[in-house]
Structure 1
Amino acid sequence: MYLVNTDLSVSCAEKSRRKSAPRLTAVELYAGAGGMSLGFKRAGIDVLCAFDLMKPAVEAYNRNIGYHAVQADLTNLAFHGPSIAAMKPDIIFGGPPCQDFSPAGARTEGERANHTRVFAMYVCIASPKWFVMENVQRARHSKA
């Protein structure tokens, strides 16, 4: 008796492990229209919820990625922090506003620069295993 694996790239044991392995979960902050969520979903990660301040961005996200984006002011840490922590995401990812740091802009740090700190606070509150923050290089040397 011969057992022939028709899928030469993946063994039966590998397929079994994939079926039983839990999928990683994630929450996106500053989601915009959902480009990062699309990439994470294509990588096999379950995006539980996404947040953005701009209504048109949330509407585009929900149409194109899935109906789990919420319009929210993320500076309200006391309101959103506990609900994000309760989701127990493995990953928090996002791209806080970068206009204040961008070499293309006026390079004047204002209120938007504080969103980098807000992002960090959500990471501290939710304690995910990983986080991914996309921003411009100048953010690293910011006072915020």
Structure 2
Amino acid sequence: MRLTCVDSFSGAGGLSLGLHKAGFEVLLSFDIEPKCIETINNNKKYFSHPALCEDIRNMLGGRLLNHIGLKQGELFLLAGGPPCQGFSVQRIGEDLDSRNDLVLQYGSLIDEVRPMFFVMENVSGIQGKRGKTILSELISHMEDIGYVVHKQLINAEDYGIPQRRKRIILVGERRDIGSEYTFPVPTGERHTVRETIEFLPEPPTDGTSHSEYPLHRRDRLSDKNIKRLMALQQGQGRDHLPEELLADCHRIDSSIIGHRNVYGRMSWDDVAPTITARFDSFTRGMFGHPEQLRSISLCEGALLQTFPVDFVFSGSKVEIARQIGNAVPPNLAKIIGESIIEYYLRKEVKNIVLSGNH
């Protein structure tokens, strides 16, 4: 059995990279963002499969199967993380984002391809009022066409990823395969910010990239933001800033408006906060370096997402930060992928034993 896989909504390839490390044969990645595809194509050390710039709404099942040379029902795993910004708990007071219909489009692709397994990753907010209707509709559709769907809220921190990152994971298996898949047990490993990024030298003070690590450069900060960082110890956020350094919008009680975890520093001996698409600015979260007067670099964010240090990202600073922050951590994808393979192989062995006893 070929452990074939397709990564839809691939982004920069975090899911593809982890699934490849788990033992999958990735046949194809596709994403609507050209710079994401450029990133995958620029990492031949890690990827040998083709990557296409495609909108899933144009990637009908027959077309996808033609690309990978398989028939309906033959693909082992279809994986993907439909864009999730509309479900994010960080979007306060907004209605459903129009992109969220892509979750149902992903379900349509599963219906047309009929893989043995599928995986979907999304933000925990998909279980809230904005997303639960769409999630329920997807699960009902999958059950109607013959899948058993397993759902779990996973915190990446519990699996050795050096950040708190809660995500909903769906694993679906065709009923002809089985119905007893279980999610991987937390590993008990804990990796801190210190373990992950302390080895990096301090980036140049003139704003240029480090000679050995091209994405390791410091952002320009305003004088006021430098003062804010100077006023903070590790693990402290805007709640610890003196009144004169608070932004005007933060003088209002945070229970009424805004987020408490902005203008903050990470802690060396803790895991990082969730690496978001805007992690390159400490004004957007607890993204200040634990001790230096700067936000963490793109390189550091990628490491906290468990990308290899030599992974090459393509695009502008904003585009690269978005690729990194939106990715499934490769090491988490590997653990989930391994759990699916191990489950399938156990079932195969059991079936062989049972057939031999008849």
Say whether the fold is shared (TM-score over 0.5).
yes
Asked if the contact 2:27/2:50 (under 8 Å) is kept, the reply is yes
Question: Which amino acid counterpart does residue 103 of structure 1 have in structure 2?
Answer: V
- In 2, Cα distance between the equivalents of 1:61 and 1:108? 33
Residues 1:82 and 2:68 are matched in the alignment: no
Task: Give the secondary-structure state (helix, strand or coil) at the position aligned to 1:66.
Answer: coil
Question: Which amino acid counterpart does residue 62 of structure 2 have in structure 1?
Answer: P
Report the RMSD for the aligned CA atoms in angstroms: 1.6
Asked if the contact 2:37/2:52 (under 8 Å) is kept, the reply is yes
Partner of 1:138: 125
Partner of 2:55: 73
- In 2, Cα distance between the equivalents of 1:66 and 1:102? 33
Residues 1:114 and 2:93 are matched in the alignment: no
- In 1, Cα distance between the equivalents of 2:107 and 2:98? 15
- In 2, Cα distance between the equivalents of 1:83 and 1:140? 32
- In 1, Cα distance between the equivalents of 2:34 and 2:80? 17
Q: 2:112 aligns with which of 100, 125, 132?
A: 125
Partner of 2:84: 98
Partner of 2:32: 53
Asked if the contact 1:100/1:112 (under 8 Å) is kept, the reply is yes
Q: CA deviation at 1:73?
A: 1.1
Query: 1:94-142 deviations in whole A, cap 9, x for unaligned?
Result: 1100000011124431221101001111111100000000001222452
- In 2, Cα distance between the equivalents of 1:99 and 1:49? 24
Asked if the contact 2:29/2:49 (under 8 Å) is kept, the reply is no
Which structure has the greater CA radius of gyration? 2
Question: Which amino acid counterpart does residue 137 of structure 1 have in structure 2?
Answer: S
Asked if the contact 1:31/1:50 (under 8 Å) is kept, the reply is yes
Task: Give the secondary-structure state (helix, strand or coil) at the position aligned to 1:125.
Answer: helix
Question: Which amino acid counterpart does residue 81 of structure 1 have in structure 2?
Answer: G
- In 2, Cα distance between the equivalents of 1:45 and 1:67? 12
Number of residues of Structure 1 aligned to a counterpart in Structure 2: 121
Asked if the contact 1:23/1:44 (under 8 Å) is kept, the reply is no
Partner of 2:9: 30
Asked if the contact 1:33/1:58 (under 8 Å) is kept, the reply is yes
Question: Which amino acid counterpart does residue 50 of structure 2 have in structure 1?
Answer: H
Question: Which amino acid counterpart does residue 27 of structure 2 have in structure 1?
Answer: L
Query: 1:24-70 deviations in whole A, cap 9, x for unaligned?
Result: 00111100010000001001100101110000000001112235110
Percent sequence identity is: 33
Question: Which amino acid counterpart does residue 57 of structure 1 have in structure 2?
Answer: C
Task: Give the secondary-structure state (helix, strand or coil) at the position aligned to 1:135.
Answer: strand
Partner of 1:19: none
Q: Which runs of 5+ in 1 are unaligned?
A: 1-21
* TM-score (normalizing by structure 1): 0.77
Asked if the contact 1:85/1:125 (under 8 Å) is kept, the reply is no
Note closer, same or farther for the CA distance 1:100–1:56 as it changes in structure 2 (3 Å cut): same
The answer to which structure, 1 or 2, has the higher relative contact order (CA under 8 A, 6+ apart) is: 1
Query: 1:8-31 deviations in whole A, cap 9, x for unaligned?
Result: xxxxxxxxxxxxxx3300111100
